[in-house]
Amino acid sequence: MDKLNFLTAGMPIKTGNKGYSRAFEILSDLELNGLELEFVRGVRISDESKEIVKNSPMVKTIHAPFYINLNAREEEKIEASINRIVETATIAQEIGAFSITYHAGFYLGMDKDKVYQTIKTQTGIIQDILQKNNVKVWIRPETTGKATQWGDLEEIINLSKEFEYVLPCVDFSHLHARYNGISNTYDEFAQIFEKIGKELEEKSPLENFHAHMAGIEYTSKGEKQHLNFEESDFNYKDLLKAFKDFDVKGAIVCESPNIEDDAKLIRDYYYSI
């Protein structure tokens, strides 16, 4: 991508029930760059909406359903999870989306290495299906907000090394919550960019970044809920400074409850640095 784009997680609140064409109008009035389509409750979009989204020149990403667990004990749950990711990626290609993201699975009390191998195997199946269908979009496991969910930074970087179309979606607020308040300083943010930039160098990950950020409330168990930036201790300012210093390009999706207001806040701060 040619710059850092600021996206809302779903349609701006002001859209009400007016649908995607109104959402894109609002985003362009606010000088935001696009949105992440929220398929979190299911891969559902009408043909009419699909046409509208496809024809918009704005940046699009998609969040796949929450009901995904590539480490499920039941075979049918794994199959359904694979299908949800494949369907999301297929629609992403149809509408010209930049990438898709998903929470890959849960540890279910199992050994970390074993879970990694399982998720790697299932991701291989997903990549094979997508390749066979000629679907070429980034599929991105997201760094998750709770220690019970698979997906710390290390695991996601390692998985990205194994597959051509896998890259991380870094949810910085999740990392902050997952580690009960750490990962919130300029140096820690810089280390994340350094690590991803170096370890995944061949894919130019800092030119093709997909990030989530929001204010966040957490406990020792990790993420509790999203908050607006001003109500949270999340250090978005130093994070944006690191984005700038590393010249990161791609999409930042703002997931604060006040969606468009915080998207504007971070956009304005970024350009003020």
Q: Residue 46 and residue 39: Cα distance in Å, rounded?
A: 12
What tokens does 57 get? 């020149």
C-alpha dihedral sign at 267, 268, 272, 273:
negative
- What is residue 145's DSSP assignment? S
DSSP β-bridge partners for residue 223: 218
DSSP β-bridge partners for residue 219: 222
Report H helices in 163-272.
Answer: 172-178, 186-199, 236-245, 260-272
User: Quick one: 52 or 85, whose CB is closer to Zn ion?
Assistant: 85
Residue number with the smallest Cβ distance to Zn ion = 142
Count the neighbouring beta carbons within 10 Å of the beta carbon of residue 68. 23
* Closest approach of Zn ion to the CB of residue 253, in Å: 9
* Closest approach of Zn ion to the CB of residue 38, in Å: 9
Q: Residue 146 and residue 151: Cα distance in Å, rounded?
A: 9
Q: Residue 33 and residue 1: Cα distance in Å, rounded?
A: 12
Count the neighbouring beta carbons within 10 Å of the beta carbon of residue 184. 19
User: Quick one: 142 or 223, whose CB is closer to Zn ion?
Assistant: 142
What tokens does 167 get? 């890259």
Phi, psi dihedrals of residue 17, rounded to the nearest 5°: -105, 25
- Number of residues interacting with Zn ion: please give it, by CB under 5 A: 1
Residues between 117 and 156 that touch Zn ion (CB under 5 A):
142
User: Quick one: 10 or 190, whose CB is closer to Zn ion?
Assistant: 10
User: Quick one: 62 or 72, whose CB is closer to Zn ion?
Assistant: 62
| Alpha-carbon distances, residue 127 vs 90, 202, 221 (angstroms) | 12, 18, 32
Q: Give the list of residues 6+ apart from residue 136 with CB closer than 8 angstroms, or none.
A: 93, 130, 165
Q: Which residues bind Zn ion (CB under 5 A)?
A: 142
